[in-house]
């Protein structure tokens, strides 16, 4: 079967449309699960107690953060005022693994309810984390949580600068 030039160009154009429309889906990473350990002490620095490991997590919308109860008496809870618009609050039970699927771009703060005053806090940076970064950073904290959040926001800035 011989194609006319018009038919040939039409087929090429159709193939291009099908291929191009599939590119965004192919280029987009599949959702992944990222584990965060809830620990009594940092295995890399035993002087650091009551920690999430890692404490600063980079994720894409649709990823799941799995908080793993590696040591007893820990949980995870979203920190008030430190969620992007559309981000859902969460609070797990003590001593249980817990999954949070992040769907909105932004910075998410979290902590261990019984150990927040001891500085057991962390950040999740999702997609365009700058959407609410400064607002989250401005949330008033107390005790050791304040110092650790300051450190983690500095780490987050460095992480985000390295991406641009």
Helices (H), 34-106: none
| Residue 115 annotated as binding site | yes
Q: In what order do the strands lie in the sheet with 121-126?
A: 56-59, 121-126, 106-111, 77-78
| Residue 120 annotated as binding site | yes
Contact 121, 110 (CB under 8 A): yes
Measuring CA to CA, how many Å separate 75 from each of 43, 72, 78, 112? Answer: 19, 9, 10, 5
Measuring CA to CA, how many Å separate 83 from each of 107, 132, 134, 152? Answer: 6, 8, 11, 16
List, as residue ranges, the binding site for Cu cation. 74, 112, 115, 120
Query: Residues marked as binding?
Result: 74, 112, 115, 120
């Amino acid at each position: 079967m011989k194609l006319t030039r018009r038919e040939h160009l039409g087929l090429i154009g159709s193939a291009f449309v099908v291929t191009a429309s599939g590119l965004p889906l192919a280029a987009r990473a599949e959702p992944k699960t990222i584990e965060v350990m809830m620990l009594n002490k940092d295995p890399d620095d035993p002087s650091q107690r009551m920690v999430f490991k890692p404490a600063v997590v980079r994720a894409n919308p649709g990823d799941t953060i799995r908080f793993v109860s590696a040591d007893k008496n820990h949980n995870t809870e979203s920190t008030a005022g430190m969620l992007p618009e559309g981000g859902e609050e969460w609070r797990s039970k003590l001593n249980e693994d817990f999954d949070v699927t992040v769907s909105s771009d932004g910075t998410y703060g979290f902590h261990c309810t019984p150990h927040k005053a001891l500085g057991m806090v962390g950040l999740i940076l999702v997609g365009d984390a700058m959407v609410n970064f400064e607002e989250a950073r401005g949330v008033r904290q107390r005790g050791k949580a304040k110092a650790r959040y300051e450190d983690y926001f500095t780490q987050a800035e460095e992480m985000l600068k390295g991406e641009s």
